[in-house]
Amino acid sequence: MAVQKGIAEGYYPSYEDDVTLLAKLNGTSNLWMGEPNSAVNWTVENAAEVGADAIGFTVYGGSNHEIEMVEEFRDAQEAAREHNMGVVMWSYPRGQGLKNATTPDTIAYSTRLGLELGADITKVKYPGSPEAMAHAVTQAAKSKVVMSGGSKTNDQEFLTTVRNAMDAGANGLAVGRNVFQRDNPEQILDGLEAVIFDEASVADALDRMGVEPSNPEAL
């Protein structure tokens, strides 16, 4: 479970026996309209006290704030090592100089950035095809790659993207809106479990969920 400071402090004690905590150390609100940046709002030491097993940290490669964000990530990564905590980088290329932040080469560069800066896992957006995702995974070398959940889509489209990412060598999925914005979050979680852990096809996952395909010809 990846959450910010206030949620972790207020609610994690009630769930610590059931789930592990990934402390998201920086973030920004939807109200921010400037050059991409992400404020650090708690420390590794505080996260460890709350019971976190790992930290998460966003780096906007290509932003005018990239240098300071990388330096902040360095400090967090080194502190996490002292506490034997895993390190996950949200590697999101954004900024004035980027016309398209999800091209295959840009996403592959993002996974490489995670490797070079010392992330155990790098979270990136899906680059549009299994081939492009495979290239991104290759560039990450020994660092693991997970796909972000992205904006909400229908069940078949979402599971197809996840299936493609897993087939391309991704290690999993970090998802929020595509689960909790649904009327039945547990249903899509059953489908994701089938695809990611049971290596099921999209058709089989939809069947397990009890959902009719939106585009049967695509299966």
| Positions marked active-site | 123
List the one residue out of 150, 153, 161 whose CA is nearest residue 195: 161
- Whole-angstrom distance, CA of residue 26 vs CA of residue 129: 29
Q: How far is CA 178 from CA 79, 98, 207, in A?
A: 32, 26, 19
Across-strand partners of 27? 39
Going edge to edge, which strands form the sheet with 86-91? 2-3, 22-24, 54-59, 86-91, 121-124, 144-148, 172-174
Q: Where are the beta strands (DSSP E) in 77-182?
A: 86-91, 121-124, 144-148, 172-174
Residue 52 near residue 76 (C-beta atoms within 8 A) = no
Question: The dihedral of CA 181, 31, 51, 73: what is its sign?
Answer: positive
- Whole-angstrom distance, CA of residue 47 vs CA of residue 23: 6
